[in-house]
Structure 1
Amino acid sequence: MAKVWAALAVVATLLLSTSSAAQTDTSDTEPLTDTPLPVVGAVAAQSAWGGKLSRFDEVLHGVWRTDGGTIAYWSVRHRPSEGDESSLTSTAHKLRGGSANLTTPPGFTETSLAARETGELYPVLLDETTETCLCTNVTEMGLNDGVAEEVSDGWQLVYAVFPELPAEVTSVDVHVDGFGAILPDVPVQDGPLPTPQVSADHWVASGQGWPAPPSAEEIARAAEARTLGAVWVLAERSGSADGSWAQRESGDVREIDLAADVLFAPNEYAIDDDAGAVLDDVAAQIEGAQVTRAAIVGHTDGDGTEEHNETLSENRARSVESALAERLPEVAFSVEGRGWHEPIASNQTDEGKALNRRVTITLEGVADAEVGS
C-alpha cells in the first residue's frame, strides 16, 4: 500500500503535464488533446533482469470493451534506480518487457486481467504466427524517452489488448507487470473508446492520443493462434454455504480464505467462541489435502495505520495457527502478517473491506482426496 500511495503522488503531475503540454512547441509531437486523462488507480512497479532493477510509476486510465476484445490503457514513467540516470534510457524500457516476453519486438506481455466472477485470467493477446503482441512496443518507447520528457514530463501512454470478456464480468483485477503490482476492482467500461484514437504503430506520449486497437479480425486471429490458450482458468472454487470460508484450487495448490469478521471482533485477534465449527471445517479440508506443511497469512483492510494493520494481521494469523495446531498436530504451520498490502477487493467500499479482512491458508502438494464439509 505504501507503494500505491507513492505512485498516487505523481498522478497530479501526470494530469498537469498532459494539459500544459499543449503549450509546448514540439512540432511532430504536439499533443492532440489538453483534456486531463482519467485515472482509475496508480501503482509503483519494478522489473529486474540481468542483475539490474528498473522502477516505474504507472497510472491506469481504464479498461474498455472493444470490437472482439478488451483494451487497457495506462501511462508509464521511469524513475531513476538509486540515482542511476541510465535507468531512464531505452535499455530500461527493454527490461520493462520482462523475461517472459515471447514477442519481437518486446511489448507489455506480462500484463493480465483477472476476473473473479469467472475465476479466469486473460493474458495479453500474442499472435504466435507472427511473434508479435497486440500491445505497445517497449523498444520504440525507449528510443523516444527524450521527446516524452519534453512533451509529457516523461509519461508515455501504452496499451494492451486482451480476449473478449464475458458479459457478466463488470470489473477486473489488473496485474500490471507480472511482478506483483496489482490494481483491484477496475470497472470494465462498455462505452466508446476515448478519443482521439491514433495509430498504435508508433509510441505515444501521454496527452497525445489513445493507440487504436486492431480490428476484430486481427484480435480473433491472435486469440485462435495462441498455443497456450487465450483464457486461463485461475482456480476451481468452492467453500462453505454461509461464506465463512472459501477455497481455490489450481493444480496441486489450494488456498483457503477465512473471513476475519467470522473469526474475530473488530480490531481484535482473539478467536470468537462460536468460530469453532468454521475451524473444524477448515481443518478437515487441510487433513483431506494430505499435506504436512501449510502457510498462514493474515490480511486487513485499508483502515488505520500501517503499523497497526501489520501487527493485527500477524496476531490473527497466529491465533488461527494455534487453533488449527490443536486439531492438526501433524501439520507444521508458518505464520505471516501482511497488513493491508495485498487487497483482493477495493478498500473504498464496505463490501470490499470485508473481503480484504481475511486469513489465508496455502497448501502445496495437495492430494486428490476429497473431503466433505
Structure 2
Amino acid sequence: MPSARQAALAVLALSALLVAGAVAVGLSWGTDSVRRGGIPDRVSDAPVNASAISVEFTRTDNSTMLRYNSHDAVVFDDSADAYHLLVHNSNRRRILLRSVEPELPTNASGWEPVELTVNGRNPGGSIDTAVEVNGTYYAYQDGQVYTSTTLAAEKWTHRSDSPPGQDHGVYYDTATGRFHLFYEAGDREDHSGLAIGHATSPNGVTDWTVRPPVYNTSGRYKVGDFEVVEQDGVYFMFGDYTTDHPQYSVSVWANDDLYTNFTRVDTVMAPSGNDSATLDGYGIQDADVVRVGSDGRYVMFAHGHTGETGPRYLHTFTGRIRVGERALASNDTTSAPNGTDDASGTDQPHDARRPGTRIDGGPGDRPA
C-alpha cells in the first residue's frame, strides 16, 4: 500500500498531466482559448511591418473648427443623414452638435447646436471616450461608465465604477462582442501614462479583465487619450505623445490584433509652432478619428493648445490610412522593438491590478 507521501505525489503528477492536457487542447475561458496573461491562442505575436503602412493627416483650409475653449470631442455617426458631436467647454457644459448635411463637416458652419448638456456625477468632467453599440451609448469618464439610448443628458445612467485607469479609449469588436478599453497605465507623469493599459469586458460595464499593456514607453515619453480604428485588417491606435505636458503631438500605433504589443508608426499631427494663425502652436491632443470612406479616408478631431495654460480650440484634420501587402507579414528588424518607443525601451509598467485579473461587479445601475 503506498504511503501518504507517495499518494500525494501521485495526485500532484496527475494534476500536472491534466493541466498540460488542457493547454494542449486549448481549454477555453470565455469564448477564447487562453494563454499567458489571458491572451487568446488565436492571436499572433508577429509585429506589423510599419514600413508597409502609411498614415498621413493634413490641416484643413480652416482647421480651427470651434473658436472657444473646449476639450474632449467625441463624434458619433448615428444615421445616414447626420453626425453628432459632443464637446466639453470651459463653462462646465457639454455641448451637443448635429451636422447640417449628411457628410461629416470639418468646419463650424457644418454644425448646428442641439442643446447644452451636463453628463455624469461630476458636471465639470468631460467624457474621455464613447461608443454606440446596438442602440445604446456607452460613455467612459475617469473610471466611470454611463449608458443611454439617447445623447440627451438627462437620459444618461451611471452604471459602474469598475473600469481600470483613466483617459480611456474604447473599441467594440463586432466579431466577438467584446469591449476593449485602452487607458493610461504605469506610473503617471504630467497627466499622462508610461504605458498603454488594456482591459476587456463582455458588456462594456462590468466584468473587466485587465490584460498585459500593449505598449511600454522608455520612460522619456508619456502617452494618453486613445482612439482605435480598423483598416484592412490592421488596428490603428491614435493617442497623445509627449515629453512635457501640455506640449502634445498625436502619434499612431499599429497591430493586427488588440491583445499584443502595438508598434509605434509615426507622429501624424504635431503643433504648428510659430504659426499663430492655426491656434495649435503649443500642442495637439485628444484625437477622435472618424472614417469617411471605404478607401481609408478619415477626419481627425483634436484640440490644439495655444500656450501652456491654453486656451484649447477644436481642430479638424483630413487624412488617409494605407495598408501595404506586406504589412501583416513583418520580419523587419530595423525599427524599434515592438511595444517601445526606442531601442532602449525596456520599462515595465507598475499596475496594482495584475494582467489576467478579473474585476467583477460595480455598484449597478443608478441615476447620474
TM-score w.r.t. the length of structure 2 is: 0.28
Greater fraction of residues in helix: 1
TM-score w.r.t. the length of structure 1 is: 0.28
